Structure 1
Amino acid sequence: MSLTPAFLDELRSRTLLSGLIGKSVKLQKAGREFKGCCPFHNEKTPSFYVNDDKAFYHCFGCSAHGDAIRWMTEQRGLPFIDAVKELAQAAGMEMPAPDPRAAEKAERAKGHHEAMADAAAFFTDQLSGIAGAEARAVLEKRGVTAKTAQAFGLGYAPDTRGRLREALKSYGDPLLIESGMLIKVDEKEPYDRFRGRLMIPIRDPRGRVIAFGGRVIGDGEPKYLNSPDTPLFDKGRTLYNLDKAAPASRKAGRVIVVEGYMDVIALAQAGFGEAVAPLGTALTEAQLERLWRLVDVPVLCFDGDAAGQKAAIRAALRALPSLAPGRSLSFVTLPEGQDPDDLVRTRGPAAFEALLQKPEPLVDRLWAHEYAAELLDTPEQRAGLKRRLADHANTIADGNVRQEYLAEFRRRVDDLFATPRREYQPRAFQPRKSGGKWTPPIPPATAQAKAVRAAGIDRVLAKAVLAGLIRHPAEIARHMEVLGGLKMVDGALGRLFEAVVDLALEDRALDSARLVTILGTSGLGQITTDLLRADAMPYSFTQDGADPKRASADLDEAIAIMVARPEVDAALATATAELEATTSDAAFERQMELLREQRALEERLANLIQANNDADEFEIEGN
């Protein structure tokens, strides 16, 4: 049968929602609405409201929301079509005539559902048997308890080509091939798709198994293998664990999106039952819509590595056209090298909850991404930042939200490029302490130090360090800490650094010439060439043919300065603000101490440059 939007709208209009819900929930009149205790979560004070005029119910405690049909499916547990039939009968409406093709499709779907349920039972039995010992060991190593494994229906696919086919032979090969459980190649015999893998059932919102994900046991590729799209399974419209996360999200008031199955399972075991995951692809518009039905602002919590953060920004850009007042995304960034599974196992649920309490709004994630995309030293580069931000905002369909984003980006750009305030100058006198002797103030920074600061010490030094690592790939393993610094300075440098590190770690014997060649073939050649120009930077480690020992020592010093400088600058800004507010002796002393530390760092950097110049002059004189 064909259920048109017009038919469903008429059905809703003929159904008195308060009368329907009042059959199982005690409701009281509250103005033009009715209120009562929510049936979806335990509460003593009524926060559940029913509005007959608008034909929906809403709970302000757990965010449960829906119309008459959703009430029948979620509270009564009826399948969608059964809910419609019951409401239509009560409203005196005739159901549309059956469509033979739809009936045939429904019958085929019924066979697929039964086959998938039997396949899940087969895999579960195998996990508990002798053949599943290695898979059980994997779960034990990852801290997954037997209770959790049972709750998620985890199983094991034997490492054979025909065990599942034999177990489900009553369904016939054509149905099993169509369901994705068997693979058919040319005229050869069909064989099991999943072999030697930990099996993870994928369920629809009603809890029925519609597909599987298989994780390899031990080494092998691909690490995860998903069912193909089938009559039951559309991976672009499905979220793993949605059937369990939907009710949990109403209680928690949030839904958490993570990258993979094991993250969801680990979080559920740690008490975060409101987690879901896409199925090996970037979040789609259909998946975002499903998330927004649960909460207004889902939390995206992807891995802290580069791939995870790229996935996060792709989701942000994909969400923009569908933003609406109150409807957005937020982001949690995990410590680099960790995923949610790692975090809750090593540091406990409290550490993960602490991150969830401080999510990053979508507008902040977009701003940070574009700010780091390229240098902002020239008018053209600054204009590029403005254009990219405006292009993003203009994809938002809702006019009010679009204007707010444009205004917010304009404000941030204006603040970023505004004429800087005059730098705070230390007082011309030293407060006298009891019994103490007056000492003259620290002299102002030298012209050389000011020139270094004006050029942007962090960005300039980051370029030099990256050039040094390209010149001396053997030093990379000792200097992994520069990753964070380079990423913060500039997105382009961050991407180049990531490529350099990946190549060097893959081949510890990689020399500079081969590294440059590989970078050239990967589209990073021009950036690399600019960094390695002989006149680009005045440091020993950036020069071709420099003494290796001296270059290594100078690179150590440069990295130490680069890491320390932002910390000193931040502390100095705090101390200066405190001095302006309190004018206390302690605040003045703290500011003086930090000014000395800042000058010392500038002098260390100047010494690196001077030492290199001295060496060049000596070499010229010697010749």
Structure 2
Amino acid sequence: MTLTPQWLDELRSRITLSTLIGRTVKIIRAGREYKACCPFHNEKTPSFTINDEKGFYHCFGCGAHGDAIRWMTEQRGLGFMDAVKELAVEAGMDVPAPDPRAAKKAEAQASLRDVTQAAADWFAQQLASSNGAPARDYLKRRGISDATREAFGFGLAPDSRGSLKEALKKFPTQMLVEAGMLIAVDGKEPYDRFRGRLMIPIRDARGRVIAFGGRILGDGEPKYLNSPDTPLFDKGRVLYNLDKASPASRRTNRVIVVEGYMDVIALAEAGIADAVAPLGTALTENQLGLLWRMMPVPVLCFDGDAAGQKAAMRAAARALPLLRPGFSLAFATLPPGQDPDDLVRAKGAEGFEAILESAEPLVERLWAHEVAAGPLTTPEERAALKSRLLAHADGIEDADVRHHYREAFRERLDVLFARARPERSARQPWTGGAGARGGWGGGRRFQPDPRLQPPGAETRIIGEAGISAPYIAALLAGLLRHPSALARHEEELSRLFIPDSADAELLAVMLDSAIAHEGLDCEGLLAILEPMKVYNRATTLLRADGMHFSFTRRLEDSDEAEAARETALRDLDEYIGVLVTQPEIRARLAEATAEFQRTMDEEGLARQQTLRALDEDLTRRLAALSENSSQF
């Protein structure tokens, strides 16, 4: 049976080596690695290390070294295929059946790597020759030292259509074409792809040359030219300098993404070795996956011009659906008109580090971009801003992360528009009155009382603690029965303090669902909640007996039921208003009572009594809405 290198690499990547070894050896965490006493020789001080990111173990005492497969063969004593089969079961992979074509393909890829490595060697020889003097002068003008030139493997492709073909004539012409080194056009002899260019090898994560980038020397287009996609090279699955940046990032605890490979090289020249770059495309999902395997929050550092900021937003949009708890992006913006090379030349590595220190989280970048997108003077423009922001949040697949993004955007919107709408600084109380029993949308209104000021933080906590769990349970049950109320009362409900975290999460998820899916009914809302952990709480509330409100009852389809549904909706609207208002009234009452005890004047007494009357009126309203208030 023949297993391709690609399949074996995938198998190794799916196995967490520390977990595998930790089943039989006692291991302890040591920074980003694990340590243990070596199982291959007797020792008292741990010298055996396990590195999950690199996927290998190493003993500094006896020199034992290997990956998951070698661990199974050397420590467990299994044969190679038995070890592979056991690991494949754990990794959820099928061991491929014998396939001569796959073996042939793997062999061909190995041969193609011979081609690209031979090309890299020849290009380097050309740069070091007398013909390479102009290219070496160019590198010196760019501030690239000989040591950096050699470390990155710079080379030179002569301005000739057949020099490389002749130099690599030991390889079949078709193989040179397949490796991307020659261009084959129907009816013409294949010729060199790269001509008159400074050559930069592109390596895979293991440091093997798989492709090239070429920068033109002198005038001409395109300025940069990359190898085409080949069996070795897929530009959407490779990050330039990953092989060098990965070990460097473990020392710095970060990874930086810049726009191009010359940016990476300029930073390396300045002593910043943990930078990578995409290869002429916007960041792809595969590249984001590579970055998140290195660091949970990579820093994207793009140019400050319009093109650079557009690239940053494309990366943000690509990342949003993939976000999960703890994994995101940060954005550092260079001064307009400067790239990393300009910055480190002018201000050194310290200047670039200062830019990185000011990197902003993804949520802030999205917010700043949308706020700057246009004027915000009319209600329609403000509504458009809210719509754009919530559309970003709705693109996040993880429910918890999506919820927190929506909350973050709502909080920022409240702050942004607070000055233009001062009446939203606090919810206003329901004042009751003789007309309070009017129809739905008529008399039951919650009018502001100009005599009442918002409570202080301390008294607000007193009021928030006063909402009892049965009232919250009835509210949630009513909203589950009648999801249309969620959209109508989005603002009030999102500000309502709910002491129980599980109930607060259920309400937040229901709000998100109602906003994302207009016209939801009870069954539709439950279908959305079913995969989530809040589903059991929701079904429990719908089955609860002891809730004696019109809006918590299940209604069958009939003419009478339609009238009952309208009554339930009216009652639910009023109930929400009371629940939202009463905690604030009680907070203000506590504040007024404390103030009256200090001043003992008539004005303080009057304010206290007014608030107390409002509180009692709201309590009567709750009792009237309930068919049996003794349950509460």
- Matched with 1:176 is 176
- Matched with 2:56 is 71
Matches of 1:209 and 1:318, distance apart in 2: 28
Cα offset, 1:86, TM superposition: 4.5
- Matched with 1:325 is 325
Matches of 2:288 and 2:15, distance apart in 1: 27
Superimposed CA distance per residue, residues 240-265 of structure 1 (whole angstroms, 9 cap, x where no aligned partner): 00000000001000000001111101
Matches of 2:267 and 2:377, distance apart in 1: 44
Q: 3-state DSSP class of the match of 1:112? A: helix
Cα offset, 1:356, TM superposition: 1.1
Match of 2:21 among 17, 20, 25: 17
Cα offset, 1:79, TM superposition: 9.6
Report 1:116-131 matches (<5 A): 116-131=116-131
Runs of 4+ in 1 over 3 A off after TM superposition: 1-16, 47-50, 72-92, 94-98, 419-422
Cα offset, 1:90, TM superposition: 3.8
> What is the identity, as a one-letter code, of the residue corresponding to 1:172?
P
Is the radius of gyration larger for structure 1 or structure 2? 2
Superimposed CA distance per residue, residues 529-565 of structure 1 (whole angstroms, 9 cap, x where no aligned partner): xxxxxxxxxxxxxxxxxxxxxxxxxxxxxxxxxxxxx
Cα offset, 1:48, TM superposition: 3.6
Q: 3-state DSSP class of the match of 2:249? A: helix
TM value normalised by structure 1:
0.58
Matches of 1:191 and 1:309, distance apart in 2: 38
Matches of 1:4 and 1:181, distance apart in 2: 28
The answer to whether 1:389 aligns with 2:381 is no
Cα offset, 1:102, TM superposition: 1.5
Matches of 1:126 and 1:410, distance apart in 2: 60
The answer to whether 1:160 aligns with 2:160 is yes
- Matched with 1:144 is 144
Cα offset, 1:319, TM superposition: 0.4
Q: 3-state DSSP class of the match of 1:353? A: helix
CA contact (8 A) 1:181 1:193 kept: yes
Q: 3-state DSSP class of the match of 2:126? A: helix
Q: 3-state DSSP class of the match of 2:200? A: strand
Cα offset, 1:66, TM superposition: 2.2
Q: 3-state DSSP class of the match of 2:363? A: helix
Matches of 1:215 and 1:162, distance apart in 2: 19
> What is the identity, as a one-letter code, of the residue corresponding to 1:348?
G
CA contact (8 A) 1:11 1:87 kept: no
- Matched with 2:219 is 219
Superimposed CA distance per residue, residues 78-107 of structure 1 (whole angstroms, 9 cap, x where no aligned partner): 998975985797445264454212111110
Superimposed CA distance per residue, residues 58-95 of structure 1 (whole angstroms, 9 cap, x where no aligned partner): xxxxx99628x822599999998975985797445264
- With over 3 angstroms needed to count, the CA separation of the structure-2 counterparts of 1:149 and 1:266, relative to structure 1, is same
Superimposed CA distance per residue, residues 478-509 of structure 1 (whole angstroms, 9 cap, x where no aligned partner): xxxxxxxxxxxxxxxxxxxxxxxxxxxxxxxx
Matches of 1:368 and 1:74, distance apart in 2: 50
- Matched with 2:270 is 270
Cα offset, 1:398, TM superposition: 1.0
> What is the identity, as a one-letter code, of the residue corresponding to 1:148?
T
Matches of 2:64 and 2:211, distance apart in 1: 22
Cα offset, 1:269, TM superposition: 1.4
Matches of 2:143 and 2:308, distance apart in 1: 23
Report 1:339-354 matches (<5 A): 339-354=339-354
Matches of 1:212 and 1:6, distance apart in 2: 25
- Matched with 1:356 is 356
Matches of 1:80 and 1:390, distance apart in 2: 45
> What is the identity, as a one-letter code, of the residue corresponding to 1:221?
E
Matches of 1:178 and 1:88, distance apart in 2: 41
- With over 3 angstroms needed to count, the CA separation of the structure-2 counterparts of 1:73 and 1:204, relative to structure 1, is farther
CA contact (8 A) 1:11 1:91 kept: no
Matches of 2:176 and 2:23, distance apart in 1: 45
- With over 3 angstroms needed to count, the CA separation of the structure-2 counterparts of 1:197 and 1:5, relative to structure 1, is closer
The answer to whether 1:205 aligns with 2:198 is no
- With over 3 angstroms needed to count, the CA separation of the structure-2 counterparts of 1:77 and 1:393, relative to structure 1, is farther
- Matched with 1:454 is none
Cα offset, 1:5, TM superposition: 12
Matches of 2:349 and 2:11, distance apart in 1: 47
- With over 3 angstroms needed to count, the CA separation of the structure-2 counterparts of 1:11 and 1:291, relative to structure 1, is closer
Matches of 1:223 and 1:7, distance apart in 2: 39
- Matched with 2:133 is 133
CA contact (8 A) 1:158 1:196 kept: yes
Matches of 1:332 and 1:321, distance apart in 2: 21
Matches of 2:326 and 2:164, distance apart in 1: 48
Matches of 1:186 and 1:151, distance apart in 2: 38
Report 1:571-582 matches (<5 A): none
CA contact (8 A) 1:73 1:80 kept: no
- Matched with 2:91 is none
List gaps (5 residues or longer) in structure 2: 37-48, 85-94, 423-632
Report 1:533-548 matches (<5 A): none
- Matched with 1:108 is 108
CA contact (8 A) 2:17 2:55 kept: no
- With over 3 angstroms needed to count, the CA separation of the structure-2 counterparts of 1:13 and 1:326, relative to structure 1, is closer
Q: 3-state DSSP class of the match of 1:279? A: coil
The answer to whether 1:303 aligns with 2:321 is no
Report 1:82-93 matches (<5 A): 86=73, 90-91=77-78, 93=82
Cα offset, 1:128, TM superposition: 0.7
Matches of 2:215 and 2:64, distance apart in 1: 32
Cα offset, 1:342, TM superposition: 0.9
- With over 3 angstroms needed to count, the CA separation of the structure-2 counterparts of 1:100 and 1:11, relative to structure 1, is farther
CA contact (8 A) 2:18 2:50 kept: no
CA contact (8 A) 1:328 1:362 kept: yes
Q: 3-state DSSP class of the match of 1:200? A: strand
Q: 3-state DSSP class of the match of 2:55? A: helix
Matches of 1:182 and 1:128, distance apart in 2: 23
Match of 1:35 among 24, 28, 52: 28
Q: 3-state DSSP class of the match of 2:333? A: coil
- Matched with 1:410 is 410
> What is the identity, as a one-letter code, of the residue corresponding to 2:192?
D
- With over 3 angstroms needed to count, the CA separation of the structure-2 counterparts of 1:182 and 1:297, relative to structure 1, is same
> What is the identity, as a one-letter code, of the residue corresponding to 1:155?
G
Matches of 2:296 and 2:275, distance apart in 1: 15
> What is the identity, as a one-letter code, of the residue corresponding to 1:18?
G
CA contact (8 A) 1:14 1:91 kept: no
CA contact (8 A) 2:330 2:361 kept: yes
- With over 3 angstroms needed to count, the CA separation of the structure-2 counterparts of 1:135 and 1:253, relative to structure 1, is same
- With over 3 angstroms needed to count, the CA separation of the structure-2 counterparts of 1:306 and 1:233, relative to structure 1, is same
Superimposed CA distance per residue, residues 347-371 of structure 1 (whole angstroms, 9 cap, x where no aligned partner): 1111111111121110010001111
CA contact (8 A) 1:11 1:88 kept: no
Matches of 2:395 and 2:150, distance apart in 1: 44
Superimposed CA distance per residue, residues 447-471 of structure 1 (whole angstroms, 9 cap, x where no aligned partner): xxxxxxxxxxxxxxxxxxxxxxxxx
CA contact (8 A) 1:249 1:294 kept: yes
CA contact (8 A) 2:50 2:56 kept: no
> What is the identity, as a one-letter code, of the residue corresponding to 1:409?
F
Matches of 1:271 and 1:14, distance apart in 2: 32
CA contact (8 A) 2:34 2:51 kept: no
CA contact (8 A) 2:161 2:191 kept: yes
Matches of 2:21 and 2:145, distance apart in 1: 43
List gaps (5 residues or longer) in structure 1: 23-28, 41-46, 51-62, 423-623
CA contact (8 A) 1:159 1:195 kept: yes
CA contact (8 A) 1:257 1:275 kept: yes
Q: 3-state DSSP class of the match of 2:351? A: helix
Matches of 1:184 and 1:74, distance apart in 2: 50
CA contact (8 A) 1:370 1:385 kept: yes
> What is the identity, as a one-letter code, of the residue corresponding to 1:299?
V
CA contact (8 A) 2:56 2:68 kept: no
Aligned pair count reads 392
